[in-house]
Amino acid sequence: MGATQDGQAFAKPKQRKLLFSAGLSWMFDAMDVGIISFIAAALAAEWSLTPQQTGLFTSINSVGMAFGAAIAGIMADKFGRRAVLLWTLLIFSIASGLSAAATSLTVLLILRFIAGFGLGGELPVASTLVSESVPAKDRGRAVVLLESFWAAGWIAAALIAYFIIPKYGWQAAFLIGAVPALYALYLRKSIQDPPRYLEQAAQRKGQKISFRERLASVWMSEHRRSTIMLWILWFTVVFSYYGMFLWLPSVMVIKGFSLVKSFEYVLIMTLAQLPGYFTAAYFIEKFGRKFVLVIYLLATAASAAWFGSATSEGMLITAGICLSFFNLGAWGGMYAYTPELYPTKVRSTGVGLAASFGRVGGIIAPFLVGVLVARNVEIGSIFWLFFFTIVIGALAVMWLGTETKGKELLD
C-alpha cells in the first residue's frame, strides 16, 4: 500500500482525530506512571517503607509492562490493533482505580502489576496503529507527536501530586487513574484498524501463525541487526528513564528539599518534556531518525551527569529541565523508529518484544537505585551509571541502525 493510498484512506482531519484519540489514551498511561513516582515518595513517609521496598513498588509496574508489551504486541498482529488497544486501556484503568483501596504493600504490588500489564500493552500497539495510518512523509512526526501526550500525562500527574496528594492523600490520585475506563467507551467508536493492517489480515486469512513463529520472525536474518539494535536501545533508554524519573521526587527529598517543594520542582522539570517532543518531531523529518536519537541520547547522558553533580538549587533545576527535554525527545524518536523496521505482519510483535525487553531495564533500575541509596551510595555516582548506560544506547543506533526517513513501511 503506497503513500497515496494511505493519504486517500486517511484524510488530514481523520489523521488528526486518530492522533488525538490515541494520544489521549497515551496521556492517561503517562499520568498513571507519573503518579507512581509521587505516590512512592508519599507512601515511603506514610507506611515507613525502606528504600528497597520503595524500589520494589516503583519496579513492579515495569514487571507488568514487560509482560503486557510482549503479549499485547503479538495479540495485536493476530486480532487487530484497535481491539487490543481498548482491552489494555480497560485493564490498566480498572486496576489503577482498585489500587486506591489497597491496605497493604502486597495488595498494592499485585494491583500495580496488573495495571502495568495494561500500560505496557497499550503503548506499542498505539504507536503501531498511528504509524500504519499516516503517509510516509508525516509518519515520524505523527508518532513523536503521539509521544508528546506522554508529557501532558506527566504534567497532569505532577499537578495531581502537588494539589491533590497533600490534601486528599495518595488514594485520591489512584481513583483519578480510573477515569480512562470511561474514555475506552468513546475510543470504541472513534478509531479503526489501519487499512494497511486490514489488507494484510485479509491476505493471511486462514493462515495460522504460532506464537513461536512470531517470536522467531523478528530474529530472521533480514531483521536480526535491527532487532539487536532496538533491544539495546530500548533497554538503555527505559533503564535510565525509570531509574531517574521514578526516583526524581525522592532524590529531591534526599538532596534536602521538603516533599511539597520537591513536587514543585519536578513539575517545573516535567514542563520541559513538551518542547523536547516538539523539537524532536521537527528534526525527525528534517534530519532523520538516527540523527535525533543519537544527538538527544548523548545530550541526555550529559544532562544526567550534570544533574547528579549539581550542588546549587538553580543548577539542579536547570539540569533537570535539560534531562527532561532531551530524554523525552529521544523517547519520541524511539517510538517513531521502531515500527518502521518490521513488515506489517509482524510489526506489532517486533515493537512489543523490543518494548518488553526494554521494560526489563525499567524493572531493574528503580530497584537498583533503592539498593544503592540504602547503601549510602552518592546520588552523583548513581547518575554516572545512567550516563554510561545512555551512551551505550546512542552507540548502538550509530553503528547498527539504518535510516528510515521518507521510506514506505514494509509489507
pLDDT score for 410: 65
* Position 80, amino acid: G
Indicate whether 211 belongs to any domain: no
Indicate whether 40 belongs to any domain: yes
138: left (phi over 0), alpha (psi -120 to 50) or beta: alpha
Contacts with 275 (C-beta within 8 Å, 6 or more apart), sequence order? 325
Q: Cα separation of 250 and 399, whole Å?
A: 36
* Position 60, amino acid: I
Q: What is the pTM of this model?
A: 0.80
Indicate whether 43 belongs to any domain: yes
Range of the domain at 290: 17-187+218-400
Walk along the chain (411 residues) and give the pLDDT tens digit of each residue: 344 444 444 447 777 888 888 888 888 888 888 888 788 878 888 888 887 788 788 778 888 988 998 899 888 888 888 889 889 989 988 999 999 999 899 999 999 999 999 988 888 888 888 888 888 788 888 888 888 888 888 888 888 888 888 888 889 999 998 888 888 777 777 788 888 778 877 776 666 666 677 778 888 888 899 999 999 999 999 999 888 887 777 777 777 776 667 777 777 887 888 899 889 988 998 999 999 999 999 999 999 999 888 877 788 889 989 999 999 999 989 988 999 998 888 888 898 899 999 989 988 888 888 888 888 888 889 999 999 999 999 999 999 999 988 787 766
Indicate whether 248 belongs to any domain: yes
158 and 263 in contact (C-beta within 8 Å)?
A: yes
The CATH number that applies at residue 141 is 1.20.1250.20
Q: Cα separation of 355 and 368, whole Å?
A: 20
Indicate whether 209 belongs to any domain: no
Indicate whether 204 belongs to any domain: no
Indicate whether 28 belongs to any domain: yes
Task: Please give the tally of structural domains in the chain.
Answer: 1
Indicate whether 1 belongs to any domain: no
pLDDT score for 389: 97
